[in-house]
């Protein structure tokens, strides 16, 4: 299988990097082809220029490569921290530029853009691993878990990816090394469950 793995965190020693490395390790050991992008390391440009918005627009070569890998992916894994209930700006910009019309979705004939898009992604499953310094209870009671709505309902469901799993790890700032080790084990088991060894 071809799996797209996208990481959005600026610190190399972050737990987000550890999550991404654990996921990549399981995928590679399972014989999968991994399209791995550390957006900060690659200095991905999150700015969406106006001329890139239309369907069929000429795309920057880097963006075009990301779009091709997204289209080819049998599975998708996203790793990022919860910053103000959102992904970091570099990852939001990746969404804007890569999860685009003609690649991830299209509008049906006669729909001028006001309707529900038709998903085009071939990926069978999408996993999102988040980190947070907000307790689960506070996240639910006060903020209503905006990342779940963003990734599940606003992105992957509309783009045709029906199997979705998201796990939020926290509170990161007070977590112990033993706790983090257990969490990484959970990441490995989850990735192996959704993307088992390639036969």
Q: What is the pLDDT of residues 179-197, one digit of tens each?
A: 999 999 999 999 999 999 8
In the chain, what percentage of residues exceed pLDDT 70?
95
Closest among 77, 107, 92 to 146, alpha carbons compared: 92
Fold of the domain spanning 2-194: Rossmann fold (3.40.50)
Domain regions of the chain by residue span: 2-194
Q: What length is written for the chain?
A: 199
Mean pLDDT of all residues in 135-161: 84
pTM for this model (two decimals): 0.94
Q: Calculate mean pLDDT across residues 88-112.
A: 94
Cα distance between residue 190 and residue 78, in whole Å = 13
Fill in the DSSP letter of residue 80: E
3-state secondary structure of 64: helix
User: Per the omega criterion (within 30 degrees of 0), is the bond before 171 cis?
Assistant: yes
């Amino acid at each position: 299988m071809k799996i797209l793995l996208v990481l959005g965190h600026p610190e190399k020693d972050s737990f987000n990097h550890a999550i991404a490395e654990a996921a990549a390790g399981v995928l590679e050991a399972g014989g999968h082809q991994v399209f791995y992008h550390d957006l900060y390391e690659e200095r991905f440009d999150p700015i969406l220029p106006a001329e890139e918005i239309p369907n069929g627009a000429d795309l920057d070569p880097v963006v075009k490569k990301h779009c091709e890998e997204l289209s080819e992916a049998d599975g998708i894994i996203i790793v990022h921290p919860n910053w103000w209930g959102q992904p970091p700006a570099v990852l939001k910009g990746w969404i804007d530029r890569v999860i685009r019309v003609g690649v991830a979705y299209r509008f049906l004939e006669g729909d001028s853009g006001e309707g529900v898009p038709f998903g085009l992604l071939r990926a069978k499953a999408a996993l999102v691993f988040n980190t947070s310094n907000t307790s689960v209870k506070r996240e639910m009671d006060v903020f209503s878990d905006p990342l779940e709505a963003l990734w599940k309902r606003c992105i992957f469901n509309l783009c045709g990816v029906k199997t979705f799993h998201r796990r939020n790890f926290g509170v990161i700032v007070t977590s112990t090394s033993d706790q983090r080790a257990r969490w990484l084990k959970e990441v490995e088991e989850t990735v192996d469950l959704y993307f088992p060894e390639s036969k």
